[in-house]
Structure 1
Amino acid sequence: MSEAAAIALRDKLSLEQLDLDLFRAQNEATLGNRLFGGQVLAQALSAAQQTIEERPCHSLHGYFLRPGKVDIPVIFQVERIRDGKSFSTRRIMGIQNGQAIFSMDASFQVKEAGLHHQMEPQPVPPPEALEDDRLVALRMTDLGPHAAWMTRERPFQIRSVAPIDQAPTAKTSQAVWIRFSAPILNTTTQQQLLAYASDM
């Protein structure tokens, strides 16, 4: 795991404010010329969070409209749809070259007790019993043209329950443990990192 890669990602999620509700993001290098969707999602959330105080995001819906390009900064425009007593709603547009590449609606709520909607997780081995995916990839000899990408330093430690060096099964779900490789400073950063990781 790489604390330097983690800090670099954390810095990419801190946006430059250009004007009221208008922000510019920097892109991370990817495999090819397209933006990583998790980065765009996390940065859109970061932009919205900068227009709200003391209300964590409890729901968001994002739509990838066009492929984003790595060599062009994304401009995020936030529209303040509503600020109520308990809820705030934001619409965020990600723009490159004057065209929308991403759209997101997000809802934020004052912290308060309420119903919990969470499924019980399936039993899996603890992370201590599993090997980091990067270390597994470093031992593999058949990674082809993506070897450097698969073995790069990553901002997250990822431990797959089904090791990546085993033949894939027909199963459509997977279980992994993930852990950010640097200190998480606050809840807003934690939510951004979860948004980023949702597309890994």
Structure 2
Amino acid sequence: MTEMAREAATELDTSPGGGGQPVLDKLVALLDLEKIEENIYRGVSPAHSSVRVFGGQVAGQALVAAGRTVPEERRVHSLHAYFIRGGDPSVPIVYEVDRIRDGRSFTTRRVVAVQHGKAIFSLSASFQKDEPGIDHGETMPDVPDPESLPTFPELTAGYGLRFSEIPRPIDIRYIGEPPWVTRTTGERPTHHRVWMRADGTLADSQLLHVCVLAYASDMTLLDSVLARHGVYWDVDKVLGASLDHALWFHRPFRADEWFLYDSTSPSASGARGLATGRFFTRDGRHVATVVQEGLLRVR
């Protein structure tokens, strides 16, 4: 995510003391959209947002809007989205849902997020009723337990990063040296790995858990592109923005339990970087896969 997006993602609360349940509750409230008409919902941004709406926020809210029009027993299995314009955090976002198809097994929805009369984001999502079938998944990398790793405030202490002291709804534990360190050591890691979890307890709604993961998926993904080149947000002169985002949900999970986010970048060119990521539960189940392309201008 971009430096501005990172601030917007974390500025759900400006009180001192890190994250925890109060900050997570603010994220849940952010995802609880207001229904203003059939198939039309309205969402807001945090009171202390930066210049643009955080991409994970608009993706999560759009997925909530789509899910509100789908029977609860049908789970989202994929979403594909484009970030069209930078969102204005000072005004509400209107989400218009198009009920594309309601089949016997699958349900398809298209959502357009609108501000100032213009589309800023579009999302297509597919939902499926549970069915038995063949089953395999990738193997989780061998990594240290999250409890053995420093917290985000501990890891960022002394580096002067603008976003380091803002309370966060997502607890993140970096595996290995973080990118603001490797940029000075000369390392160029090909994989960027973090443990993540919602920093508190979430309700049992499966839609809420996938929306929180969608929100979190935009927080560190593009870091895997920058780490290959020894640059980082807020330290070097990097201008970035998410261009598109795709997520596939393979198996049920809880976003308030630890999951490993393993990301890498297969290619970067033309001021764009491509990043892919895999999500694993702590017991090794491969629960989701993400792909994103971002605009990255390094000056």
Q: Do they fold alike, i.e. is TM over 0.5?
A: yes
**Comparing both structures, which one devotes a greater share of its residues to strand?**
2
Q: Percent identity?
A: 37
Question: Counterpart in 2 of 1:114?
Answer: 133
**Aligned-pair Cα RMSD in Å:** 1.6
CA contact (8 A) 2:182 2:188 kept: no
Are residues 1:166 and 2:166 paired?
no
What is the TM-score normalised by the length of structure 1? 0.92
**Comparing both structures, which one devotes a greater share of its residues to helix?**
1
Q: Per the alignment, do residues 2 and 166 of structure 1 end up closer, same or farther by CA in structure 2, a change over 3 Å counting?
A: same
Counterpart Cα distance in 1 of 2:85 and 2:102:
30
42, 46, 54: which one aligns with 1:24? 42
Are residues 1:191 and 2:205 paired?
no
Deviation digits for residues 37-63 of structure 1, max 9, x if unmatched?
Answer: 000000000000100112110011010
Question: Counterpart in 1 of 2:142?
Answer: 123
| Range with greater deviation from structure 2 (97-106 or 22-31) | 22-31
**Count of residue pairs brought into register by the alignment:** 195
CA contact (8 A) 2:49 2:89 kept: no
82, 90, 97: which one aligns with 2:116? 97
SS of corresponding position for 2:181: coil
Structure 1: segments with no counterpart, 5+ residues: none
SS of corresponding position for 1:124: coil
Counterpart Cα distance in 1 of 2:35 and 2:90:
19
What is the TM-score normalised by the length of structure 2? 0.62
Q: Which has the higher contact order (CA 8 A, sep 6+)?
A: 1
Structure 2: segments with no counterpart, 5+ residues: 1-18, 220-299
SS of corresponding position for 1:150: coil
Are residues 1:132 and 2:151 paired?
yes
Q: How far off is 1:25 after superposition?
A: 0.3
Are residues 1:143 and 2:160 paired?
yes
65, 86, 103: which one aligns with 1:67? 86
Counterpart Cα distance in 2 of 1:24 and 1:116:
38
CA contact (8 A) 2:107 2:127 kept: yes
1:83 aligned partner, one-letter code:
D
Counterpart Cα distance in 1 of 2:75 and 2:181:
39
Q: Per the alignment, do residues 42 and 7 of structure 1 end up closer, same or farther by CA in structure 2, a change over 3 Å counting?
A: same
